[in-house]
């Protein structure tokens, strides 16, 4: 299995804090992928009572989940407090007074250390958030811990072909593009962490931009600039200029493309299995030998 990518959690959180006020207008890709993820739930027979939207951003998907499952309590969790502060303003005063505000509970916490009881969640949904975890394995284990028996994890994340145009200009590590996990490695990780019946697939979505500045602006305003040091400025202006000139070779029909590999996955917490402690450790019964 490929090595787990490393990402500074502090750096990722900082980018999403800065992008909170611009996220909704810039995150067209995230909104489209969320819609496709929700569409896949049409094929799954589950009536969850408690749903966790892990890495919710401004909770657009959390509100859609509340509409889809009106009987459920939805928890919108994100590590960026600025994102969660945007949630309240998304409903009108009249809706709140009329009691039609979605019952979404906002929680600021780490994906890798969920402040939730073991077995308390029926469904975990996560849209383009797992890639920002410093330890995807730890995040998946935490989701498994909080899921009830027979509960579902469904998620999207970015694959290694993301921003391949940048990588083509300068091979790793000079491009500074974060190394995302491969779909097959994620499937193996689901199995090794204890999930059952994992299903993985992927697609590529290409966005186009009139110039390099527009691409950089969208990455910054959606928080996705955390994916590459080259874009968010740590390499300096000279490197940025060389990158811009190199990117021009990708121009097609007057537009600059930016490819994103979208990985879809879902898996279940087994109905049967070892009893778990509150921390998620297996409880093994030891039978003493007779003398």
Beta strands in the chain (DSSP E): 50-54, 73-78, 104-108, 121-127, 147-158, 196-209, 256-268, 275-276, 282-283
Residue 203 has a CB neighbour count (10 Å cut-off) of 12
Average pLDDT over residues 103-125: 94
Please write the tens of the pLDDT for every residue from 220-258. Answer: 888 877 666 545 444 567 777 888 899 999 999 999 999
Can you give the pLDDT at residue 124? 98
Can you give the pLDDT at residue 82? 93
Nearest one of 65, 71, 63, 109 to 90, comparing CA atoms: 63
Please write the tens of the pLDDT for every residue from 261-289. Answer: 999 999 999 987 655 555 655 444 444 54
Average pLDDT over residues 82-109: 70
Model pTM greater than 0.75?
Answer: yes
* Contact (CB, 8 A) for 16 and 226: yes
Nearest one of 275, 280, 176, 270 to 229, comparing CA atoms: 176
**Residue 217: Cβ-neighbour burial (10 angstroms; 0-12, 13-18, 19+):** middle
Kindly report which listed range (80-84, 85-89, 234-238) carries the lowest average pLDDT score. 234-238
Q: Please, which pLDDT band fits residue 166 given cuts at 50, 70 and 90?
A: confident
Domains belonging to the chain, first-starting first, are 9-159+179-204+261-271 (3.40.50.150)
Can you give the pLDDT at residue 285? 43
Q: How far is CA 93 from CA 67, 72, 88, 100, 106, in A?
A: 18, 23, 10, 10, 18
* Contact (CB, 8 A) for 22 and 119: no
Residue 4 has pLDDT above 50, yes or no: no
Can you give the pLDDT at residue 286? 43
Residue 148 has pLDDT above 90, yes or no: yes
């Amino acid at each position: 299995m490929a090595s787990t990518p490393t990402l500074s959690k502090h750096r990722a959180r900082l980018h999403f804090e800065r992008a909170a006020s611009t996220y909704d207008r810039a995150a067209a890709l995230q909104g489209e992928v969320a819609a496709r993820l929700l569409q896949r739930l049409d094929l799954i027979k589950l009536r969850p009572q408690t749903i966790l939207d892990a890495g919710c951003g401004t909770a657009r998907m959390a509100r859609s989940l509340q509409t889809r499952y009106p009987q459920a309590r939805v928890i919108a969790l994100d590590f960026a407090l600025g994102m969660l502060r945007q949630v309240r303003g998304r409903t009108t005063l009249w809706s709140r007074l009329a009691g039609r505000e979605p019952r979404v509970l906002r929680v600021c916490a780490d994906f890798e250390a969920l402040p939730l009881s073991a077995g308390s969640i029926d469904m975990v949904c996560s849209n383009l958030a797992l890639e920002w975890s410093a330890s995807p394995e730890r995040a998946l284990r935490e989701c498994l811990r909080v899921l009830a028996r027979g509960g579902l994890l469904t998620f999207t994340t970015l694959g290694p072909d993301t921003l391949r145009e940048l990588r083509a200009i300068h091979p790793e590590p000079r491009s500074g593009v974060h190394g995302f996990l491969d779909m097959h490695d994620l499937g193996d990780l689901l199995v090794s962490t204890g999930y059952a019946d994992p299903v993985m697939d992927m697609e590529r979505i290409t966005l186009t931009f009139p110039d390099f500045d527009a691409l950089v602006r969208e990455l910054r305003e959606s928080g996705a600039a955390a994916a590459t040091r080259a874009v968010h400025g740590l390499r300096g202006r000279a490197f940025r200029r060389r990158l811009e000139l190199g990117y021009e070779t990708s121009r097609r029909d007057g537009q600059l493309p930016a490819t994103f590999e979208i990985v879809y996955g879902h898996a279940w917490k087994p109905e049967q299995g070892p009893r778990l402690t509150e921390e998620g450790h297996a409880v093994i019964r030891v039978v003493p030998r007779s003398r």
